[in-house]
Amino acid sequence: MATRTSNRSNNSRSNETSGNRGGNRSRSNERSAFSWGDSGALVGAAIAGAAIAVAANLGRKAAMQGMSAAAGDWDEVLAAEHDMTMMIFDKLLATDDAQTFKRTMLVKKLTHALDKHAHEEEHVVYPALREANEAHDADLLEGEHGYVKTFLYDLNEMAKDSPEFLPKVREFRTLVAAHAQMEEEQVFPRLKQGLSEEQNARITTLVNKEGFKMA
Ligand SMILES: [Fe+2]
Ligand SMILES: [Fe+2]
């Protein structure tokens, strides 16, 4: 009896539940009927918002990449980026130990600039160097990029008011300046001279394309 009652009550609960479920379903259908309209509008607005955001981001990237792309051929684009990087180093070296926020922002900016630059070189220029039988230079330069990342890691991790901060930046700047000088004075001119106009134009296109991805 208890079992039957229990069963019954279970059944009854089950019926109630299923009744509720039915009710919920129908309410939910009603909600869906409305919400289709609502969520349709919301989805539409979200898509429009996302499209605006994507367009804004593409515009920002185009503007950022355009800044260096406007400089001309691939070697000029990369040399302009070297100059921009040196300017960030100099701003960092002009800070004092109390300017921790400014240092944090500048280290972020330096990290982004060098990541983007390394991406362009490692995905386009160094492969082209290896194809031109200059693998030794490509491997040496790519190895130095590894140390660039190590300096960036150290600077990002280091307390920005540390007395070691500026000596580390100075050491880092020396490495990047020597690396950039080797690229600009020896490696890039040699590669450029050995390539046809079309091949150089292709490298310029690819450098800008890779830069756009990282802008
Ligand atoms: Fe490099
Ligand atoms: Fe470079």
pLDDT class of 83 with cuts at 50, 70, 90: very high
* pLDDT band with cut points at 50, 70 and 90 for residue 17: very low
Write out the two tokens for 23: 């009710």
Question: What's the 73 CA to ligand 2 centre distance in angstroms?
Answer: 14
Enter the pTM of the model. Answer: 0.72
* C-alpha 107 to ligand 2 mean position (Å): 18
Q: Smallest Cα–Cα separation from 174: which of 148, 149, 150, 140?
A: 148
Average model confidence (pLDDT) across the chain: 82
pLDDT of residue 41: 58
Beta carbons of 75 and 188 less than 8 angstroms apart: yes
Instruction: Give the rounded percent of residues in the chain with a pLDDT score beyond 70.
Output: 67
The pLDDT of residue 215 = 87
pLDDT > 80? residue 70: no
Note the pLDDT tens digit of each residue in 157-168: 999 999 999 999
Q: Which residues contact 8 (CB under 8 A, 6 or more apart)?
A: none
pLDDT tier for residue 54 given thresholds of 50, 70 and 90: low
Residues whose Cβ atom is located within 5 A of ion ligand 1: 121, 141
